[in-house]
Structure 1
Amino acid sequence: MRVVLPLLGLLALAGVSSAAAPPNVVIFFADDLGYSDVGCFGATKWKTPHLDRLAKEGIRFTDFYVSQPVCSASRCSLMTGCYSNRLGIHGALPPNAKHGISDREVTLAQMFKSKGYTTGMVGKWHLGHHPQFLPTRHGFDSYLGLPYSNDMWPHHPEAKKGTYPPLTLFDGEKVVDHDVTAETQATLTARYRDRAVQFVRENKARPFFLYFAHTFPHVPLFVGEKFRGSSGAGGVYGDVIQEFDSAIGDVLAELKTAGIEDNTLVIFTSDNGPWLSYGNHAGTKGNLREGKGSVWEGGLREPFIARWPGKIPAGSVQTEPAMTIDLWPTLAKFAGADLPPSPIDGKDIGDLLTAKPGAKCLHEAYVFYYNQNELQAVRSGKWKLILPHSCRMIEDRQPGMDGKPAGYKQVKLDTMLFDLEADVGETKNVAADHPAVLQAMLAHAEQARADLGDALTKRKGTGTREPGRLADPPMR
């Protein structure tokens, strides 16, 4: 592990009182953001000054993961601290889905509520759009946003007539727009920003949790008039990123104006990698392989930035692996909350987040599922195991342009082993050179199959739980 830990940061840590009040927490969660879409992670075609400043004043993780490279599954893991397939949430829930997050699970918002926090959300939920699944039924005091992805609407470039109903916009549990238009989508970033700033302003005197789960840069891309053309060569994608960065800057400014930035933990990451088939309307993966919809690094590894003045030493860089599932137990400890009654998969990464010297990843391995409960990859330490499966890939294909996607090719993959420290692009299979490592990685896969199951090997796990279903009676 390499942690860059400035001397001033160490001195700041030494002066922090253990009796400090529990922090406010703000999570910015992008949609389909590429690993290199932020300046401090390599972006060059557009600028992200507020996120770059956040990293300069806090920490960035180089090896931060989501549990699955797709919308609903990824968000489920963030909200519950569990692998989403443990909870029966797979893929991206469509508008005709009759299931969603179960009310037997304890969300981040419910955990914070148990400790007296006020909770608010803006943006994309995507864990069920029927009333019993909405954010306001799972711990959030307020909500403004879309129930699922913004391309799940009648104007999708590949949708047949009647595939999707009109897209709706919720305020709390009330639909305030029954047919979201392109013009409305162009105002979403500003609306989310205004509501987020208002939430901070109204709750500055009490502990709060704000979840800003942005609709973008998921396609279709829309940007406010002020930011159209702002990124120049970055095109509309760069404009969208710059508008989001500006919105983040406005929320950060409100924290400062309110005098509460020193006791606010701010986190930024995304739900999965870039949707590469959309070409110039997709993000950038840097040196990683592939993107959204694959368990290659480009689909799973995300930029992660956190700032908590006096707790996180400024300018830190963490290279130990971590995942969204780890945020639940970590934030619970910061808030003084207990773990939920049902087991979760995440582990406390507080020492990694605060750049404690010598801190290590507490997981023996992370496992990556996709499709309908297919175990496709495992990471342990610097090693990454790819298990036999079929996947879609954009390699050697001409990507789409201007909002219209290109087709993927389907590829059958065999067992492969990669050394991510030496080969982050996953180009050289070293399984034959490291038979002992391969066997150890396969053993991790077997443990996952026994617990969570695996459709590829027709295994049924013993540790899975059911999602919520529309016909389920409410919990008393």
Structure 2
Amino acid sequence: MRLLALLLCLGVLQTSTAAAADRAAGAPNVVIIFIDDQGYGDLSCYGSEIAETPRIDSLAAEGMKFTSFYSAYCVCSASRAALLTGCYPPRLSMPGVLGPNSRVGLHPDEVTIADLLKERGYATMCVGKWHVGDRLETLPTAQGFDRYFGLPYSNDMARQKGWGNDSPDLDKIWRQKKWDIYHNDLYRNGESAESPVDQTTLTQRYTEEAVGFIRENKDRPFLLYMPHTMVHVPLFVTDDRWEEDPAKAYRLAVEHVDWSVGEVLDTLEELKLAENTLVIYTSDNGPWLSKRHHAGSAGPLRNGKGTTWEGGMRVPGLFRWPGVIPAGTVTDRVAGTVDLLPTLAEAAGAELPDRPIDGHSLLGLLKDPQAPSPHDEHGLFYYKNGRVEGLRMGRWKLRFGDKNASTVSLYDLDADIGKSHDVAAANPAVLGRLIAIAERYDRDLKANQRPIWTAGK
């Protein structure tokens, strides 16, 4: 027993030594705050006239704001898998949305951000909505995270029988705080710890877990991945923030998330960790516009969630790392969530996975806002339903038709952010070049496609 204790102590010492070495090398703590269904126009720093988001805005004031930042997919599961792995969803064979008790999920053999940073001595935790598989083999604890606390799928997916139809009355649910019609499981690590969960408490409880994790790991590098359940419908806030008018529901939910961000930032400041922490804030896709006042705004962008128009995939992108990222910078360079894994790998001194990935490190751009985007050369691709529907290179966006790939359009996003004017006829050379790039990349990606995890196989 004494020998075992000694070996365990030596293991702890080695971990602490590795952590100290990473600290000395400047490897940052990492906090990724990933919001659900938040549109490009939902934050004050992106022009919102509805919600007040001073704590989120502070990330822009103290770091870098991207005006051309993209999710890798236009709905939940696929966009999350892409953020975690640095790969477009078709490379992972990942469908757009998984439901509860899905027989498929992100393959445990995939290398996630958590896997890479854990190898560098990081403590890792996921707090919030996972949604890339709710079987034990596909939960965060099987994907590089030491700990997990949250909902494994969307908060509208586990409705009890006997309530309405497939289009619940969101106004009524808000007024009556009817969280109990959604029989959601709140997981702690690998199993359900509470069912149904009171959704009015989720944002607050996620925040408490996140702050607790930071405090426990203040002396070693850590990765906190915080994919909030909000602001996906049904919307809920704590009782002290609630107002009866459902027209105010979305604003109140956004401002509750802003409070949560503030609690995390204040904790980093209190513990003197802010200077060595890279904080990233973004969204999984654009606003769910059909939910009307229970949804957000895409601002000047066209359309929203579920589409490969700009409003479906261009989202807020905020990065803060004091002393590394120049404060108060704004860039229109093209980047996206698919770039987070290679960016964090470079920042932490980790080696990239020994397999094809689609993202590129943004570290050079984060340090110098005048640097080019890696997507100027490689392009950024819009995938939906397993096929490429668009390509962004610099000012240009190529878009294939929703159902007919032979129908193509071209937009100059510098001159026409709302994509109201197809300029394909006036720019045949640009059109032909982008079509060739998109088709070549799509062929190469699918030739190196990897399997999804499937139950029983």
Instruction: Say yes or no: TM over 0.5.
Output: yes
CA contact (8 A) 2:356 2:448 kept: no
- What amino acid does structure 2 have at the position aligned with 1:148? Y
Q: 1:302 to 1:107 in 2, by over 3 A?
A: same
1:341-360 correspondence to structure 2 within 5 Å: 341-360=354-373
CA-atom RMSD, angstroms?
2.1
Give the SS at the match of 2:410: strand
Number of residue-to-residue matches in the alignment: 420
Match of residue 367, structure 1, among 378, 381, 405: 381
Contact 2:287-2:296 within 8 A present in 1 as well: yes
Equivalent-residue separation in structure 1 for 2:100 and 2:308 (angstroms)? 25
CA displacement at 1:470 relative to structure 2 = 1.4
Which residue of structure 2 aligns with residue 446 of structure 1? 439
Report if the CA contact (8 A) 2:156-2:182 is conserved: no
2:93 to 88, 97, 106: 88
Question: Which digits, 9 at most, give the CA deviation of each residue in 1:358-383, with x for residues without a partner?
Answer: 33334421111112x12211111111
Residues 451 and 463 in structure 1, CA contact (< 8 A), matched pair in contact too: yes
Q: Please report how far the alpha carbon of residue 413 of structure 1 lies from its aligned counterpart in structure 2 after TM superposition.
A: 9.4
Which residue of structure 2 lines up, in the alignment, with residue 168 of structure 1?
A: 185
In the alignment, what sits opposite 1:187?
201
1:279 is displaced (CA, Å) by: 0.3
Instruction: Indicate the residue corresponding to 1:120 in structure 2.
Output: 125
DSSP 3-state at the match of 1:120: strand
The equivalent residue for 1:435 is: 428
- Could you tell me how far apart the structure 2 residues matched to 1:57 and 1:262 are? 11
Shift of 1:95: 1.6
The letter of the residue matching 2:438 is A
Which residue identity lines up with residue 447 of structure 2 in the other structure? T
What is the alpha-carbon distance in structure 1 between the residues aligned to residue 369 and residue 167 of structure 2? 53
Contact 2:335–2:373, Cα closer than 8 Å, also in 1:
no
Bigger mean CA offset, 149-158 vs 184-193:
149-158
1:223 maps to which of 225, 237, 247:
237
Q: 1:236 aligns with which of 245, 249, 253?
A: 249
Deviation of residue 104 (structure 1)? 1.4
Matches within 5 A, 1:394-409: none
- Counterpart CA distance in 1 for 2:280 and 2:406 is 35
| Match 1:282 to one of 279, 282, 295 | 295
Equivalent pair of 1:149/1:215 in contact (CA under 8 Å): yes
- Given that 1:390 and 1:413 are in contact with CA atoms closer than 8 Å, whether structure 2 keeps it comes out as no
TM-score by length of 2: 0.88
- SS of corresponding position for 2:425: helix
> By how many angstroms is 1:462 displaced?
0.9
Aligned residue number for residue 171 of structure 2: none
Partner of 2:342: 329
TM value normalised by structure 1: 0.85
In the aligned structure 1, how far is the partner of 2:406 from the partner of 2:195? 43
Residues in 2 aligned to 1:56 and 1:157: alpha-carbon distance in whole angstroms = 45
Question: How far apart are residue 356 of structure 1 and its match?
Answer: 4.5
| TM-aligned CA distance change 1:165 to 1:60, over 3 Å | closer
Instruction: Name the SS for the 1:46 alignment partner.
Output: coil
Q: Post-superposition shift, 1:422?
A: 0.4
**Residues 434 and 361 (structure 1 numbering): CA distance in 2 closer, same or farther, change over 3 Å?**
same
CA distance in 2, matches of 1:366, 1:45: 31
Is the deviation greater in 211-220 or in 352-361?
352-361
SS class of match (2:263): helix
Partners of 1:233 and 1:138 in 2: how far apart? Answer: 38
CA contact 1:36–1:42 (8 Å) conserved in 2: yes
Q: Which residue of 1 aligns with 2:19?
A: none
Separation in structure 1 between the aligned mates of residue 195 and residue 428 of structure 2, nearest angstrom: 57
Question: What does 1:28-427 correspond to in 2, within 5 Å?
Answer: 28-154=33-159, 158-159=165-166, 166-180=183-197, 184-229=198-243, 235-362=248-375, 363-371=377-385, 373-390=386-403, 414-427=407-420
State the Cα distance separating 1:79 from its structure 2 match. Answer: 0.1
Corresponding residue for 2:9?
none
Per-residue CA shift, 1:143-182, capped at 9, x if unaligned?
A: 1100110110215864399xx99321101112111323xx
In structure 2, the partner of 1:469 is 454
1:54 and 1:305 in contact (8 A); partners too: yes
The range that moved more, 339-348 or 274-283, is 339-348
* Aligned residues of 1:382 and 1:419 also touching (Cα < 8 A): yes
Rounded to whole Å, the distance in 2 between the matches of 1:272 and 1:389 is 18
How big is the shift at 1:233? 9.8
Against the structure 1 CA distance between its residues 377 and 202, is the aligned structure 2 distance closer, same or farther, given a 3 Å change threshold?
Answer: same
Partner of 1:332: helix, strand, or coil? helix
Moved over 6 A (4+): none
Query: Measured at CA, do residues 234 and 259 of structure 1 come closer, stay the same or move farther in structure 2, by a change above 3 Å?
Result: farther
| Aligned-partner SS, 1:277 | helix
The residue type paired with residue 89 of structure 2 is S
Counterpart contact for 2:329–2:369, Cα < 8 Å:
no
Report the CA distance between 1:234 and its aligned residue.
6.5
Distance in 2, matches of 1:289 and 1:165, equals 32
Deviations 1:67-99 (A, max 9, x none): 110100000110000011101111111124211
Unaligned stretches of 5+ in structure 1?
A: 1-17, 392-411, 453-460
The structural deviation recorded for 1:130 is 0.4
The one-letter amino acid paired with 2:223 is F
Contact 1:45 1:234 in 2 (8 A): no
The amino acid of 2:357's aligned partner reads I
Tell whether the 8 Å contact from 2:86 to 2:337 is kept in structure 1 after alignment.
yes
2:115 & 2:288 partners in 1: Cα distance?
Answer: 31
- State the SS of the aligned residue for 1:191: helix
Matched to 2:72, the amino acid is S
**Aligned partners of 1:177 and 1:200: how far apart in 2?**
23
